[in-house]
Amino acid sequence: MVDNEIREHIDKISSQMRRQYSEMLRELGLHVGQDNLLCKLWNENGMTQMELREQLRCELPTVTNMVKTLEKKEFVYRKKDADDGRVSRVYLTEIGWGVRDPIEEMWRSQQDKLLKGLTDEERVLLNKFLQQMEKNLR
C-alpha cells in the first residue's frame, strides 16, 4: 500500500515539475532537456556532440536533434575542430549565453518551491534518500 502511495507521489511530482518546466522554458523558446544541453555548454563551451551525449546520458540522435533545433533557433552554432576537421564542436551564441540567468533562476525557483517547509534536517535526509534512489537506477 505504501509503495503505491510513494509511486503516486513521485508520478505527481514528476508530472507537475515537467509541466511547469515546459511552460517556463517555452517562454524562452526552449523545450525540456534543451536547458540541460545549454547548461553543459555554459560549463564547457565547445564540446563535441559525443561529449554532450556522454554528459547528458542520452542517445546520440537525441543530442544531434537537440543541437540542430538549438542551432536553427540561434542558441548554438557548430564549428569544425581546429585540430581534427572530422569533428564539429558546439558553441553558444549570445542568445545561448543570454538565457543562462533566466534558466538558473527558474531552477532555483522550482527547487525553493519543492523544498518549502522542510527543515534543514529533513533536507539532509531527503538528499540522502535521493542519492540512494539515483544509485538504484544506475
d(C-alpha 114, C-alpha 130), whole Å: 14
Q: List the chain domain ranges.
A: 2-137
Tens of pLDDT, residue by residue over 55-99, are: 999 999 999 999 999 999 999 999 998 888 888 999 999 999 999
Angle, alpha carbons 17-99-27 (nearest 5°): 55
Residue 76: what pLDDT?
98
Considering only the top CATH level, what class is 2-137?
mainly alpha
Name the CA radius of gyration of the chain, rounded: 18
- At residue 3 the predicted structure's pLDDT band, cuts being 50, 70 and 90, is confident
Residue 33: what pLDDT?
93
| All three cell numbers of 28 | 524562452
What is the average pLDDT score of the chain?
A: 94
Q: What is the pTM of this model?
A: 0.85
Tens of pLDDT, residue by residue over 15-55, are: 999 999 999 999 999 999 999 999 999 999 999 999 999 99
Residue 8: what pLDDT?
93
